[in-house]
């Protein structure tokens, strides 16, 4: 089956907002991507799924590298500008700098990174997988940094959120019950 981009059922997902930086035929660029994922510890792999019509897609296919920056709760404006304009028509970095956001050059790849993001990872593309109407770019991490005091922005139901109330794991009595049931049903 096919689903439309605004199908209410898929709005139950909770995601990060990746700020994906790139360079290439469209010049230095940044886009927002909720389909940003952690895939593997060793080697450390992360992925982003990008529609082929986006300027970032062409840049990443060409230069085989991308910056994966997780938006912070203070970067909603940045996420809206990066996700609401295309690098085919707009030079987004000067717009964002004029709005007070800052960027710095990555060390291992030729892209800009987002200052004060919740996490910054420099990725070299090791796999490009066509999946339906998006392409998954799998990147091997070359460098990664994160400041735990900077909180990641949450995306859910088409809106921005912050991580809310902490919910306790099951208590000891419940854990004992689970353990007993697992023992009873061990194969
Ligand atoms: C919060 C948010 C999340 C988005 N997630 C994705 C995504 O995961 N993949 C994608 O291809 N586009 C996604 N988009 C749309 C792109 O960011 C948007 O089309 C952008 O203008 C593409 O920029 P570019 O043409 O400069 O690459 C998202 C937009 C927003 C606002």
Q: What is the mean pLDDT of residues 144-172?
A: 96
Mean pLDDT across the stretch 86-113? 98
Query: Is the distance from CB of 90 to CB of 83 less than 8 angstroms?
Result: no
Read off the pLDDT of residues 120-148 as tens digits, 9 standing for 90 and up: 999 999 999 999 999 999 999 999 999 99
**What are the domain boundaries of the chain?**
12-184
Global confidence as pTM: 0.97
Say yes or no: CB of residue 87 within 6 Å of ligand 1: yes
Q: What is the arithmetic mean of pLDDT over 157-180?
A: 96
What is the atom index within ligand 1 of the atom nearest the CA of 36?
A: 8
CB of 51 shorter than 6 A to ligand 1:
yes
* Cα atoms found within 13 Å of the Cα of residue 91, Cβ hemisphere only: 4
Average pLDDT over residues 155-168: 96
Q: Class assignment of domain 12-184?
A: mainly beta
Ligand 1 contact via 16 beta carbon (within 6 Å): no
CB distance 154 to 142 below 8 Å: no
Please tell me the residue having the least CA distance from ligand 1 atom 5. 33
User: What's the DSSP call for residue 170?
Assistant: P
């Amino acid at each position: 089956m096919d689903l439309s981009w605004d199908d209410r059922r898929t709005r139950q997902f909770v995601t990060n907002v990746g700020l994906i930086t790139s360079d290439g035929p469209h010049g230095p660029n940044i886009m927002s991507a909720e389909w940003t994922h952690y895939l593997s510890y060793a080697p450390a792999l992360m992925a982003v799924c990008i529609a082929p019509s986006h300027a970032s897609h062409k840049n990443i296919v060409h230069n085989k590298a991308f910056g994966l920056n997780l938006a912070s709760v203070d970067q909603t404006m940045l996420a809206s500008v990066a996700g609401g304009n295309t690098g085919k028509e707009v030079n987004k970095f000067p717009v964002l700098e004029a709005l007070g956001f800052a960027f710095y050059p990555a060390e291992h790849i030729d892209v800009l990174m987002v200052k004060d993001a919740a996490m910054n990872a420099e990725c070299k593309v090791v796999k490009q997988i066509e999946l339906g109407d998006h392409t998954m770019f799998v990147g091997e991490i070359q460098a990664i940094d994160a400041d735990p005091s900077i909180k990641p922005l949450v995306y859910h139901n088409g809106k921005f959120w912050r991580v809310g109330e902490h919910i306790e794991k099951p208590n000891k009595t419940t854990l004992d019950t689970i353990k007993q049931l697992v023992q009873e049903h061990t194969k």
